[in-house]
A and B are shown apart, each in its own frame.
Chain A
Amino acid sequence: MQHIISVLVENKFGVLARVSGLFSGRGFNIDSLSVGPTLDPTTSMMTIVTAGDDRIIEQITKQLNKLVDVIRVVDLTDKEYVERETALIKIRAQGEDRSEALRIVDIFRARVVDSTPSTYTIEISGDPKKIGAIVNLLKPLGIKEFICTGRIAIPREEAKAVAVREEGIPLPVKDRRSHLV
Chain B
Amino acid sequence: MKLSGAQILIECLKREGVKVVFGYPGGVNLPIFDVLYDEKEIEFILCRHEQGGGHMAEGYARATGKPGVLLVTSGPGATNTVTAIVDAYMDSTPMVILTGQVPTQMIGNDAFQEADVVGITRPCTKYNMLVKDVNDLAQAIKEAFYIASSGRPGPVLVDLPKDVMLAKTEFKYPETVSVRSYSPILKGNRWQIKQAAEEIAKARRPVIYAGGGVLHSGAWQELLDLAEMTQFPVTLTLMGLGAFPGQHPLFLGMLGMHGTYCANMAMHDADLIVAVGSRFDDRVTGKTASFAPNARIVHIDIDPTSIHKNIKVHVPIVGDVKIVLRELNEVLRTSGTGSAVRCQEWMDQIENWKIEHPLSYDQGDSILKPQYVIEKIYEMTQGNAVITTDVGQHQMWAAQFYKFNHPRTFINSGGLGTMGYGLPAAIGAQMANRDSRVVCISGDGSVIMNIQELVTAVVYNLNIKVAIINNKYLGMVRQWQQLFYKGRYSSSFMGDSTDFVKLAEAFGAVGLRATKFGEVESVLEEAFRVTGPVVMDFQVDPYENCYPMIPAGAGHHEMVFKDPEAIDQKNSIKEEDAEGVLTA
Contact = CB atoms under 8 A, between A and B. Distances in A.
Interface of A: 9-10, 14, 17-18, 21-22, 25, 55, 58-59, 62-63, 65-66, 68-71, 169, 171-172, 174, 177-181
Nearest to A13: B130
Q: Which of A10, A66, A174 has the most CB of B within 10 A?
A: A66
Contacts of A71: 180-181
A88 B509 CA distance: 73
Given A17-B122, A59-B309, A180-B318, A66 B181 contact: no
B303 interface: yes
B127 interface: yes
Interface in B181-224: 181-183, 185, 187, 189, 192
Contacts of B180: 71
Contacts of A180: 185, 189, 304, 318-319
Given A55-B308, A172-B185, A172-B304, A25 B123 contact: yes
Please name the 10 residue pairs, one residue from A and one from B, whose CB atoms are nearest each other, closest first: A62-B305, A71-B181, A68-B127, A180-B318, A172-B304, A68-B182, A181-B316, A62-B304, A181-B318, A25-B123
A61 to B, nearest CB: 9
B289 to A, nearest CB: 14
Nearest to B186: A177
A69 B182 CA distance: 7
Contact of B122 (A21, A55, A59): A21
A21 B123 contact: yes
Nearest to B126: A68
Contacts of A69: 181
Nearest to A9: B181
B119 A17 contact: yes
B118 interface: yes
Interface residues of B, number: 26
B566 interface: no
Contact of A18 (B122, B185, B304, B307): B122
A150 to B, nearest CB: 22
Given A17-B122, A25-B123, A71-B180, A66 B189 contact: no
Contacts of B581: none
A68 B304 CA distance: 14
Q: Which of A55, A62, A63, A68 has the most CB of B within 10 A?
A: A68
Contacts of B318: 172, 180-181
A97 B345 CA distance: 84
B122 A68 contact: no
Nearest to B118: A14
A172 B119 CA distance: 27
A26 B305 CA distance: 12
Nearest to A42: B180
A59 B305 contact: yes
B305 A177 contact: no
B1 interface: no
Contacts of A178: 185, 187, 189
B185 A177 contact: yes
A63 B122 CA distance: 14
Contacts of B147: 68
A105 B187 CA distance: 57
A9 B181 CA distance: 8
Q: Which of B119, B192, B305, B309 has the most CB of A within 10 A?
A: B305
Contact of B181 (A25, A174, A179): A174
Contacts of A58: 308
A66 B303 contact: yes
A70 B308 contact: no
B305 A63 contact: yes
28 contacts: A14-B118, A14-B122, A17-B119, A21-B122, A58-B308, A59-B309, A62-B305, A62-B307, A66-B304, A68-B126, A68-B127, A68-B181, A68-B182, A71-B181, A169-B316, A171-B304, A172-B185, A172-B318, A177-B183, A178-B185, A178-B187, A178-B189, A179-B189, A180-B185, A180-B319, A181-B304, A181-B307, A181-B316
Q: Which of A21, A62, A70, A178 has the most CB of B within 10 A?
A: A62
B179 interface: yes
Nearest to B190: A178
Contacts of B187: 178
Interface in B206-258: none
B157 to A, nearest CB: 12
B122 A66 contact: no
Contacts of B122: 14, 17-18, 21
Contacts of A181: 189, 192, 304, 307, 316-318
Interface string B90-125: 000000000000000000000000000011001100
